[in-house]
């Protein structure tokens, strides 16, 4: 471990706060979605959409509030994170609004539920709540190291959150995956919040235990193997991940948590052996569950040969999975390089979860290869700014927390985008900020809030050393 | 902790890179394949997104488009006199794809064809709705109606061609189907489609171009043409050396005739009373290779594209001598589409010159500009003009004095030539024979029409009564009459 001990040399120079850079970028992050909104309206109705002013003002207001709060409470934070999240959130709103106007999705909804309600207004509200969460994090959490105190409480809270969907009467089974709970008319995805709490727990735990995990080991075939009793934590996390996979039928969540833990373990201990072990355990777990759980099996079949499995599917569940996959792939393929243009594609042919799990297909079809690459790079930038924050952080807890959150974010992007593009089997997670869903938006705004808090601490100039009386050239001793 | 952090940063970068690569693979390399995939309903959505262009006969559309108020497929295809025109138009169904002209000229009909790029761009600026272009056919409404009515409840097909150009004037097939009945994708459409699929009379089969039948005696005109062209016969009224009970080569069986007077009959007489022995012997004299050559010049052994593809008619290229002799009277492996026999007739009526048959006259843009004009095209010259005239003389003899009397138009200045055929088929010829009739009408200005008619199964007719002359000839007559009348 090499904690940067002498940071005063950097801090001594007055570091620019970069708040004005952030403001300029935020202007783009608001204007681009507003243009996209206009684009959708013109493409669908041929006239300027009535809600454009409201939408633009709403987004600008949210971005403005967030910016002012950052200016006041986290003046030295990373200038890219807020604009990136705002842009993604704004574009997500546009895409959801676009899908709200699809006559096909409206007809499907009328057929199935006898009613249709647009999702964009609720998503706008969730975004507002998300920004409120972001503000709350920055105002209330003056120093991220406070979280360290709640290490073991975090563990309990995250376990409860993860297992809540299994509680009878509370959990809701949505098309096979049990990752939802229903409280008073609201559906909540506790896994999204568990992501944050677990990162806190892992950071606190690993900061304390990392020496034991790193140093007490035997060397075997070039790898440092940990002692048996040190294996406890990784085995526990592994078991919990498998439980999630088996009982909640959610490959994505389980992969995300296990992956996040392995990354943090590696960063904390600097031992490659943990990665090797983690990979082996993940492969073993996935192989066992993949060959037994029917839900996972159909997803794998749909991944291996989506078009072929339409004919060979053994049950309705598998057929649905394959059909979704082919629809999503054809949606991407039909987009081509430049896409059909917003509002002009047929991504609404994916009649199930078009604006949540599969929203990236709409990006693919309507904005094309170019648009998808832009979105992937935007996500990539968030991840790398997060890791940059981890590098700059001065305390090990902050390093681990920033790394854990950015790592989880990266894994989530990979699992979701890789899933919808057929790179890996599809899992039931959603694109952060883009997809419809309150839990996801709120939790991810909190995530950005925490990263901004850590980066503010990391970039804040260290206080000038107090003048030491011994350093004076001469001492006048008065009697 | 910074070293592993940097490594994880690289790892995360690789994850994003893998996604970028995958996306390029999906949206660039595989884009075309996915975009035109058979399961991709976008192709069909696009097909019905705008008002579809029409298929035109005699200046009037025989198709239409209605706004179906449906979120998936905006417009639905309609057809006027669907069953009558189905062999020409084919169908365009939201659930069951499209075929024939509807499919082949889909680009023009939807307006997506590259040749309509300028119109599309212009419409974008003027704010007009995108609209498909029209397909103008060569067909004649009067001839088609006569053919379809003539076939009535029988199973059969009629093809009429304008010999001098190759324009298809009538293309009827019965029993037929109404393409409107499954143009949508609702349960009702599915029911209609399934019923048609299951129907053992195969109403969706386009018998005029997609079914090959044994031609029987109507094939004798091809054999006669080969005999004349090869020089085996020079004088059609000279006696041929054919004994009654001529033995089929490589066999002990004599060739049976259905009428008396075939011994040493002249070519003219043999065609008039349809002597099997004379034509089998002539086919044998001409030889297999020359017979194949003649048949192929008429279009046998090849698919025709009108532009709708027809099945290839067959004249066996590997038959032994006995097989060839039987092939020469339209038996053995010889099989032909009604279109093919109409082509043979048209070539003879056109003094030996075979014109390529076609049914799309021109493609028209929404603004009525002609995008493509199909011009008559010569396919081959199977017989010389002199021999063609000899063939005409013999065929006219069949109508005026022989088995084809029922096709005679009895109009001043119109000569009619024809040939009957009754093709036996099935195990031991147990099935009801096919009644064939081919004919052409000729005026001083040339021949306006050549027809081939087949009636597969004649309900309520005694087996003995089924003959080309009795069943098929009146239909041919009606079609020829309709064409001549409509030409004024």
Contact B178, B83 (CB under 8 A): yes
Other C-beta atoms lying within 10 Å of the C-beta of residue A74 = 26
- Radius of gyration, CA atoms only, chain A: 24
Shortest CA gap B127–chain A (Å): 10
Q: What is the mean pLDDT of residues B456-473?
A: 66
pLDDT at residue B290 is higher than 80: yes
DSSP string, B295-331: HHHTTTTS--BSSSB-PPPB--SS--HHHHHHHTTT-
Structure tokens given for B237: 């009224």
How far apart CA B300 and CA B311 sit, in angstroms, is 10
Lowest-pLDDT range, A62-71, A80-89, B63-72, B206-215? Answer: B63-72
| Closest chain B residue to the Cα of A374, Cα to Cα | B20
Amino acid A176: pLDDT:
62
Amino acid B427: pLDDT:
62
How far apart CA B386 and CA B7 sit, in angstroms, is 91
Residue of B2, B5, B6 to mutate, interface with A, max A Cβ within 10 Å:
B5
Among B26, B71, B72, select the one facing A329 at the smallest CB separation: B26
Q: What is the mean pLDDT of residues B360-377?
A: 90
Amino acid B434: pLDDT:
86
pLDDT at residue B201 is higher than 60: yes
Lowest-pLDDT range, A138-152, A382-396, B261-275? Answer: B261-275
Amino acid A310: pLDDT:
84
Lowest-pLDDT range, A247-261, A322-336, B171-185, B278-292? Answer: A247-261
- Measured in residues, chain B has a length of 488
State pLDDT tens for residues A334-364: 998 999 899 888 888 887 888 888 999 999 9
CA distances from B49 to A162, B109, B466 (A): 47, 11, 50
How far apart CA B78 and CA B278 sit, in angstroms, is 52
**B-contacting residues in A 400-459 (Cβ below 8 Å):** 400, 403, 406-407, 410-411, 413-414, 417-418, 421-423
Amino acid A242: pLDDT:
80
Residue of A210, A330, A366 to mutate, interface with B, max B Cβ within 10 Å:
A330
pLDDT at residue A380 is higher than 50: yes
pLDDT at residue A7 is higher than 90: no
Contact B248, B367 (CB under 8 A): no
Mean pLDDT of chain B, nearest integer? 87
Residues with Cβ within 8 Å of residue A47, at least 6 apart in sequence:
A41
| Closest chain B residue to the Cα of A211, Cα to Cα | B1
Give chain B positions within 8 Å (CB) of A396. 1
Q: What is the mean pLDDT of residues B168-189?
A: 91
Shortest CA gap B76–chain A (Å): 17
**Please, which residues bridge with residue A183 across strands?**
A186
Higher pLDDT, A148 or A231: A148
Residues with Cβ within 8 Å of residue B455, at least 6 apart in sequence:
B151, B154, B155, B156, B434, B435, B466, B471, B472, B475
Residue of B6, B16, B25, B43 to mutate, interface with A, max A Cβ within 10 Å:
B16
State pLDDT tens for residues A410-453: 999 999 999 999 998 888 788 999 999 889 999 999 999 999 99
With CB atoms and an 8 Å threshold, state whether B12 touches A380. yes
Amino acid B294: pLDDT:
92
Confidence of residue B70 (pLDDT cuts 50, 70, 90): confident
State pLDDT tens for residues B395-440: 998 888 877 777 787 788 888 999 988 877 766 666 778 889 999 9
Rounded to 10 degrees, the C-alpha dihedral B242/B245/B246/B248 comes to: 160
pLDDT at residue A63 is higher than 60: yes
Structure tokens given for B248: 């089929």
Mean pLDDT of chain A, nearest integer? 86
Structural domains of chain B, with CATH = 214-362+380-486 (3.40.710.10)
CA distances from A333 to A272, B33, B34, B95 (A): 39, 8, 5, 22
Amino acid A12: pLDDT:
44
With CB atoms and an 8 Å threshold, state whether B71 touches A413. no
How far apart CA B478 and CA B438 sit, in angstroms, is 13
Lowest-pLDDT range, A138-142, B137-141, B417-421? Answer: B417-421
Kind plus residue range of the DSSP H or E element containing A466: none
Confidence of residue B461 (pLDDT cuts 50, 70, 90): low
The answer to whether residue A380 neighbours chain B at the CB level (below 8 Å) is yes
pTM of the model: 0.74
Contact A34, A103 (CB under 8 A): no
Positions of B marked active-site? 217
The answer to whether residue A391 neighbours chain B at the CB level (below 8 Å) is yes
């Amino acid at each position: 471990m090499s904690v940067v001990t002498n940071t005063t040399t950097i801090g001594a120079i007055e570091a620019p706060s970069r708040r004005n850079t952030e403001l300029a970028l935020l202007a783009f992050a608001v204007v681009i979605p507003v243009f996209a909104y206009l684009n959708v309206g013109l493409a669908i109705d041929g006239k300027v959409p009535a809600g454009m002013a409201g939408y633009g003002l709403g987004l600008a207001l949210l971005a403005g509030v967030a910016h002012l709060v950052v200016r006041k409470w986290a003046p030295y934070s990373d200038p890219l994170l807020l604009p990136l999240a705002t842009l993604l959130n704004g574009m997500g709103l546009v895409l959801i609004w676009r899908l709200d106007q699809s006559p096909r999705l409206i007809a499907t909804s009328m057929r199935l539920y006898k009613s249709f309600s647009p999702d964009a207004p609720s998503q706008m509200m969730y975004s507002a709540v998300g920004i409120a969460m972001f503000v709350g994090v920055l105002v209330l959490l003056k120093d991220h190291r406070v979280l360290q105190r709640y290490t073991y409480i975090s563990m309990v809270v995250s376990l409860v959150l993860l297992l809540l969907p299994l509680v009878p009467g509370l959990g809701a089974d949505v098309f096979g995956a049990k990752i939802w709970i229903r409280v008073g008319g609201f559906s909540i995805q506790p896994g999204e919040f568990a992501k944050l709490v677990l990162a806190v727990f892992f950071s606190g735990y690993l900061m304390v235990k990392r020496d034991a995990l790193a140093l007490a080991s035997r060397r075997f075939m070039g790898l440092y193997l940990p002692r048996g009793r040190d294996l406890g934590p990784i085995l526990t996390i592994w078991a919990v991940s498998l439980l999630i996979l088996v009982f909640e039928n959610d490959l994505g969540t389980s992969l995300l948590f296990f992956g996040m833990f392995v990354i943090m373990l590696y960063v904390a201990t600097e031992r490659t052996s943990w990665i090797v072990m983690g990979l082996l355990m993940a492969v073993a777990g996935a192989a066992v569950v993949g060959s037994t759980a029917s839900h996972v099996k159909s997803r794998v079949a749909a991944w291996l040969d989506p078009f072929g499995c339409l004919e060979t599917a053994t049950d309705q569940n598998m057929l649905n999975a394959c059909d979704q996959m082919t629809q999503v792939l054809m949606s991407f393929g039909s987009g081509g390089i430049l896409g059909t243009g917003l509002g002009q594609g047929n991504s609404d042919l994916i009649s199930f979860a078009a604006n949540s799990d599969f929203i990236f297909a709409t990006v693919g079809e309507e904005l094309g290869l170019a648009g998808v690459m832009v979105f992937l790079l935007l996500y990539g930038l968030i991840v790398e700014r997060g890791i940059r924050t981890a590098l700059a952080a001065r305390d090990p807890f902050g390093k681990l927390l920033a790394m854990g959150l950015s790592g989880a974010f990266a894994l989530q992007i990979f699992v979701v985008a890789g899933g919808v593009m057929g790179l890996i089997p599809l899992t039931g997670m959603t694109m952060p900020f883009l997809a419809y869903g309150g839990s996801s938006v709120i939790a991810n705004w909190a995530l950005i809030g925490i990263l901004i808090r850590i980066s503010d601490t990391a970039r804040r100039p260290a206080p000038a050393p107090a003048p030491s009386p011994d350093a004076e050239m001469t001492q006048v001793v008065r009697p | 902790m910074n070293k592993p952090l940097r490594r994880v940063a690289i790892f995360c970068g690789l994850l994003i890179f893998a996604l970028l690569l995958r996306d390029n693979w999906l949206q660039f390399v595989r884009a075309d394949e996915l975009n035109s995939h058979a399961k991709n309903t976008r192709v069909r959505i696009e097909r019905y997104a705008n008002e579809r262009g029409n298929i035109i006969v005699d200046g009037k559309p025989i198709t239409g488009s209605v706004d179906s108020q449906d979120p998936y497929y905006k417009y639905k295809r309609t057809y006027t006199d669907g069953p009558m025109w189905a062999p020409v138009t084919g169908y365009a169904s939201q659930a069951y794809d499209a075929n024939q002209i509807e499919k082949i000229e889909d680009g023009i009909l939807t307006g997506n064809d590259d040749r309509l790029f300028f119109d599309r761009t212009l419409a974008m600026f003027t704010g007009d709705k995108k609209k498909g272009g029209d397909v103008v056919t060569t067909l004649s409404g009067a001839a088609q109606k006569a053919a379809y009515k003539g076939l009535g409840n029988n199973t059969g097909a009629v093809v009429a061609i304008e010999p001098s150009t190759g324009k298809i004037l009538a293309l009827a097939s019965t029993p037929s189907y109404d393409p409107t009945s499954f143009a949508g994708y609702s349960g009702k459409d599915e029911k209609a489609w399934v019923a048609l699929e299951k129907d053992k009379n195969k109403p969706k089969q386009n018998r005029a171009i997609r079914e090959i039948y044994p031609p029987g005696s109507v094939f004798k005109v091809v054999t006669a043409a080969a005999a004349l062209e090869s020089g085996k016969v020079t004088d059609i009224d000279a006696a041929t050396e054919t004994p009654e009970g001529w033995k089929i080569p490589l066999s002990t069986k004599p060739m049976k005739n259905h009428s008396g007077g075939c011994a040493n009959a002249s070519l003219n007489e043999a065609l008039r009373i349809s002597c099997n022995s004379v034509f089998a012997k002539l086919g044998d004299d001409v030889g297999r290779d020359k017979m194949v050559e003649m048949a192929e010049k008429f279009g046998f052994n090849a698919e025709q594209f009108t532009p709708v593809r027809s099945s290839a008619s067959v004249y066996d290229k590997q038959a032994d001598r006995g097989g060839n002799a039987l092939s020469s009277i339209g038996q053995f492996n010889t099989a032909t589409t009604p279109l093919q026999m109409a082509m043979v007739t048209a070539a003879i009526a056109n003094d030996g010159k075979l014109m390529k048959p076609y049914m799309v006259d021109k493609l028209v843009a929404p603004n009525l500009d002609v995008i493509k004009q199909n011009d008559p095209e010569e396919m081959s010259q199977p017989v010389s003009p002199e021999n063609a005239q000899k063939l005409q003389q013999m065929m006219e003899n069949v109508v005026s004095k022989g088995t084809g009397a029922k096709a005679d138009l009895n109009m001043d200045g119109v000569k009619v030539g024809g040939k009957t055929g009754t093709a036996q088929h099935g195990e031991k010829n147990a099935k009801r024979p096919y009644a064939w009739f081919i004919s052409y009408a000729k005026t001083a200005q040339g021949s306006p029409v050549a027809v081939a008619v087949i009636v597969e199964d004649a309900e309520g007719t005694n087996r003995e009564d089924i003959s080309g002359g009795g069943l098929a000839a009146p239909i041919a007559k009606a079609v020829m009459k309709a064409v001549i009348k409509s030409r004024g």
